Amino acid sequence: MPGTGDTVRVETTVDSREGAQRLARSVIEHGLAACAQVGGPITSFYRWEGAVQADEEWTVVAKTAADRLADLTAHLLEAHPYDVPEIVAVPVVGGNPAYLDWVRDETRGGAE
């Protein structure tokens, strides 16, 4: 089935709506993702430097072709304001074949 293993959702979080929107726009402008969505605010709980933290964040979810994942990850690492940003890729195992084809097509030959 198209989409099985060749499309991924990449998630990250950032500390402001504006920062999330900048990351989302940047991955689209660079042709690294077909679509990026900003959601939030959310509250993230995690341990950092020995203490439990609770911070308001916004999520960015980008859809891309699996073979673009390394480039997308490198771009996010460079553009992200955090020292150790969450960047998690989850394989897409199915869905609308036409949409998944569009995701792969959109991530070909983008402006680098």
For residue 66, being part of any structural domain is answered with: yes
Q: What is the mean pLDDT of residues 55-60?
A: 98
Tell whether 112 is covered by a domain.
no
- Bridge-based pairing of strands 51-65 and 35-48 is antiparallel
Q: For strand 88-91 and strand 51-65, is the pairing parallel, antiparallel, or unpaired?
A: unpaired
- Residue 110 identity (one-letter amino acid): G
CB distance 96 to 14 below 8 Å? no
**Mean local confidence (pLDDT), 105-112:** 72
CATH number of the domain bearing residue 16: 3.30.70.120
pLDDT digits (tens, 9 = 90+) for 61-103: 999 999 999 999 999 999 999 999 999 999 999 999 999 999 9
| Domain housing 65 | 7-106
Instruction: List pLDDT tens digits, range 26-53.
Output: 999 999 999 999 999 999 999 989 999 9
Residue 97 falls within a domain, yes or no? yes
pLDDT the model gives residue 109: 67
Residue 1 lies inside a defined structural domain of this protein:
no
Does a cis peptide bond (omega within 30 degrees of 0) precede residue 97? no
Tokens representing 102 are: 């569009």
3-class secondary structure, 36: strand
Percent of the residues in the chain that have a pLDDT greater than 90, as a whole number: 90
Whether 12 is in a domain gets the answer yes
Confidence of residue 4 (pLDDT cuts 50, 70, 90): low
In which band, very low, low, confident or very high, does the pLDDT at 111 lie, cut at 50, 70 and 90?
very low
User: Residue 60 falls within a domain, yes or no?
Assistant: yes
Total domains in the chain come to 1
